[in-house]
Amino acid sequence: MAYVIIGSCIKDDSCIEVCPVDCIHPKPGDPDFESAEQLYIDPVECIDCDACVEACPVDAIYAEAWTPEKDQYAIELNAEFFLQRAARDGAPA
Amino acid sequence: MARPAVRVAVVGAGPAGAFSAAQLRSWGVGEIDLFERLPTPWGLLRGGVAPDHQEIKRLEQTFDRQTLGRGCRLLANVEVGTDISHAELMEHYNAVVYATGAQTDKSLGIPGEDLPGSWAATEFVAWYNGHPDHREREFDLSGKRAVVIGNGNVAADVVRLLTRDLGELERTDVADHALDALRDSQIEEVVVLGRRGPAQAAFTSAELRELGNLDGVDIVVDPADVELDPVSREWLDEEGTFTARKNVELLREFAAREPTGAARRIVLRFLSSPVAIRGGDRVEAIDVRRNEIVRSGDGSLRARATDDPVETIECGLVLRSVGYRAVPLPDVPFDENYYVLPNDRGRVLAADGEPLPGVYAVGWIKRGPTGILGTNKRDAAETVARVVEDIEAGGLPDPPKGGDDLDALLAERKPDLVGVDGWRSINEQELEAGRSADRPRVKLASRDELLSATKPAQPA
Ligand SMILES: Cc1cc2nc3c(=O)[nH]c(=O)nc-3n(C[C@H](O)[C@H](O)[C@H](O)COP(=O)(O)OP(=O)(O)OC[C@H]3O[C@@H](n4cnc5c(N)ncnc54)[C@H](O)[C@@H]3O)c2cc1C
Ligand SMILES: NC(=O)c1ccc[n+]([C@@H]2O[C@H](COP(=O)([O-])OP(=O)(O)OC[C@H]3O[C@@H](n4cnc5c(N)ncnc54)[C@H](OP(=O)(O)O)[C@@H]3O)[C@@H](O)[C@H]2O)c1
Ligand code: SF4
Ligand code: SF4
């Protein structure tokens, strides 16, 4: 399981500030930060601690199992962001 | 740590103003006044963000908690430049932070743009969101086809509002006058014109995906339109953003769909620029020219007109959604080329290029009308850092007058000023009306209604 960010994210970075394992990207300063329409959670790194849910001012983060029906697409989207990112710069996601 | 006693005026209680006030407060500024020309705070969060995106409106609670809940004052229904001048603010505050946003729209500059039936999306958005300046507007929705120009998220918002199932809209805080008009809407088809191709669309993939998921609405994309030209294909492969790749994927999926014969239809067309809007005393049609994508000298991908014959699309409504634009403030420097306050990382610059002591900018008036809500938080951090540097360097002007003088001036000039209590009363009445109607909120949409709601409701 992992946590998932859905499309209503307003990119205010509140979740980044609280994530204990630094698995929410891109981060301010990253080359792909400005063009990102939202932030994404790396499902491989996320430890399901729930801290980001509390921090998010617009309730854009869900535990995978509780992602609303209309936002289910986001589960794959979050994962895919990291796969494409790794493929792009050959760097670990 | 004790901070120097400083008074700051933030002009405009939109997201940029709210983030700035919150950050100034947490740094330790003692007195912060939020000026706002409307009787209600939060700018485009209330008056721009679409009513069917209620989750996002929850940010209001964060703003309230971090500003008004921490002793920042709200001085609403006061327009800076009209009710109180820039010079008067400088007489009463050490620093003034302008966060006035972009109050008007960009025009297309094509013939017929001013015909009745051709409007800016800005106006339509303000109307359906209950902005009191737009209460009396009427949009004729009696034609079968509407055309929306532009491929940004604002275009996506207005397309959704024009096509979404009424039962769903009735459960939002869309303005009642808009709900009434949309109930009688005859619009069956909304054609969206992008001047560049699918790979260059400015939609976020979240908004585009939503257009394809609306109940009772078909989405139509010509398969030929999603065959990318070589320049776009190369760009997408080599420089394309995650969003651009997702958009192209989504558009290909839309192009492969069979229409279901739904009552309403969204038609997305690309490489199409409007050249003229036609009609006698109101909009009857729009002339559209075909473009191709070329790489310009600076590397960017541009639309260039082709020689293909101009096509005429009949329609009863044209909404141009090609961007917002800021307006100058009296006696404050303005950059007429970029429509922003000239500034260096937030410090407003005088004509000689030197910072004007104590004057700052943040948000859309600082950097232009782009970026989502959170962008303004980082932007506020940059401006607030300048204010703090100037405080610490002792570089802020010392105003000759103080808070009591300001309050006396406003009491005389603006007896109908809306303070924190007045706004809380408006808010509570709107929420209460919402509770009884099973809606998140029922907006009071005229200035009179809003001002009378600043007094707590009398028990019936
Ligand atoms: C239609 C629309 C939908 C959007 N939807 C989203 C979304 O879903 N998610 C997202 O993240 N972002 C969204 N955005 C972007 C977001 O709204 C903006 O980034 C943000 O509002 C800009 O903040 P601002 O404070 O600079 O401007 P504004 O929000 O425009 O605030 C400016 C404030 O200043 C006040 N003001 C102006 N002149 C004066 C004056 N002279 N005196 C006193 N007060 C004055 C105005 O009344 C207003 O309240 C949307 C934008 C639009 C246009
Ligand atoms: N849900 C959300 O998150 C949400 C919702 C609404 C708004 N917003 C944000 O608010 C900001 C403003 O949105 P916006 O939609 O007003 O602006 P935008 O994203 O800049 O889009 C403007 C669109 O207008 C087109 N355009 C500009 N001039 C034109 C012309 N003369 N003829 C034809 N087309 C023209 C642009 O095409 P070119 O690309 O070819 O210039 C672009 O497609 C954006 O940052 C947006 O992301 C976010
Ligand atoms: S659940 Fe915890 S680990 Fe996972 S993204 Fe949120 S804060 Fe980070
Ligand atoms: S806290 Fe919520 S809105 Fe803010 S960046 Fe994280 S997911 Fe997006």
Task: Confirm whether B22 is domain-assigned.
Answer: yes
pLDDT for the residue A92? 47
pLDDT for the residue B423? 98
Residue with tokens 């964060």: B62
Is the ipTM higher than 0.90? The answer is yes
- Count of Cβ atoms closer than 10 Å to residue B1 Cβ: 3
> Which DSSP string do the residues of A14-27 spell out, in sequence order?
HHHHH-TT--EES-
Report pLDDT digits (tens) over B194-223.
999 999 999 999 999 999 999 999 999 999
Question: Is A93 a residue whose pLDDT tops 70?
Answer: no
User: For residue B148, what are its two tokens?
Assistant: 């929306």
Task: Confirm whether B438 is domain-assigned.
Answer: yes
Query: B307 and B436: one domain?
Result: no
Searching chain B, which residue's CA lies closest to the CA of residue A7?
B206
Query: B336 and B291: one domain?
Result: no
Q: Looking at residue A75, which CATH number applies to its domain?
A: 3.30.70.20
CA distances for A38 relative to B45, B247, B382, angstroms: 17, 14, 21
pTM of the model: 0.97
Domain boundary among B323, B357, B382: B323
**Number of structural domains chain B divides into:** 2
Question: Are A10 and B56 within 8 A, CB to CB?
Answer: yes
Contact A75, A3 (CB under 8 A): no
Across the range B293-297, mean pLDDT stands at 95
Separation CA B26–CA A51 (nearest Å): 22
* Cα A41 to ligand 3 centroid, rounded to whole Å: 8
Report pLDDT digits (tens) over B113-147.
999 999 999 999 999 999 999 999 999 999 999 99
Task: Confirm whether B126 is domain-assigned.
Answer: yes
Counted across chains A and B, CB pairs separated by less than 8 A come out at 60
Q: Which of A58, A67, A80 to mutate to test the interface with B (most CBs of B within 10 A)?
A: A58
Query: B54 and B181: one domain?
Result: no
Which strand ranges, in their side-by-side order, compose the sheet holding B347-349? B73-76, B31-36, B7-11, B95-98, B355-361, B347-349, B343-344
Report pLDDT digits (tens) over A37-82.
999 999 999 999 999 999 999 999 999 999 999 999 999 999 999 9
User: For residue B55, what are its two tokens?
Assistant: 């989750």
Query: B241 and B330: one domain?
Result: no
Question: Is B22 a residue whose pLDDT tops 70?
Answer: yes
B80 lines ligand 1 (CB under 6 A): yes
Q: Which of B11, B33, B44, B73 to mutate to test the pocket of ligand 1 (most atoms within 8 A of CB)?
A: B44
Q: What percent of chain B has pLDDT over 70?
A: 99
Task: Confirm whether B379 is domain-assigned.
Answer: yes
pLDDT for the residue B456? 75
SS3 for B273-303 is: EEEEEECCCCCCEEEEEEEEEEECCCCCEEE
Query: B144 and B199: one domain?
Result: yes
Q: Looking at residue B21, which CATH number applies to its domain?
A: 3.40.50.720
- Count of Cβ atoms closer than 10 Å to residue B242 Cβ: 21
> Looking at beta carbons, which residues of chain B come within 8 Å of A17?
none
- Nearest by CB: A13 against B53, B55, B374: B374
Domain boundary among B276, B295, B323: B323
| B11-15, B117-121, B362-366, B394-398: least confident range | B394-398
Please give the residue range of the domain that contains residue B182. Answer: 106-323
Domain boundary among B323, B338, B356: B323
Query: B56 and B98: one domain?
Result: yes
User: For residue B89, what are its two tokens?
Assistant: 């603010």
pLDDT for the residue B1? 57
Please give the residue range of the domain that contains residue A47. Answer: 3-89
Task: Confirm whether B457 is domain-assigned.
Answer: no
Across the range B362-385, mean pLDDT stands at 98
Question: Are A57 and B206 within 8 A, CB to CB?
Answer: no
Taking the CA of residue A14 as reference, the ligand 4 atom at the shortest distance is 1
Query: B60 and B160: one domain?
Result: no
Cβ neighbours of residue A93 under 8 Å, at least 6 residues apart?
A25, A42, A44, A82, A83, A85, A86
Query: B311 and B357: one domain?
Result: no
Residue with tokens 């025009």: B107
Query: B217 and B366: one domain?
Result: no
**Number of structural domains chain A divides into:** 1
Searching chain B, which residue's CA lies closest to the CA of residue A8?
B56
Across the range B394-416, mean pLDDT stands at 96
* Cα A61 to ligand 4 centroid, rounded to whole Å: 7
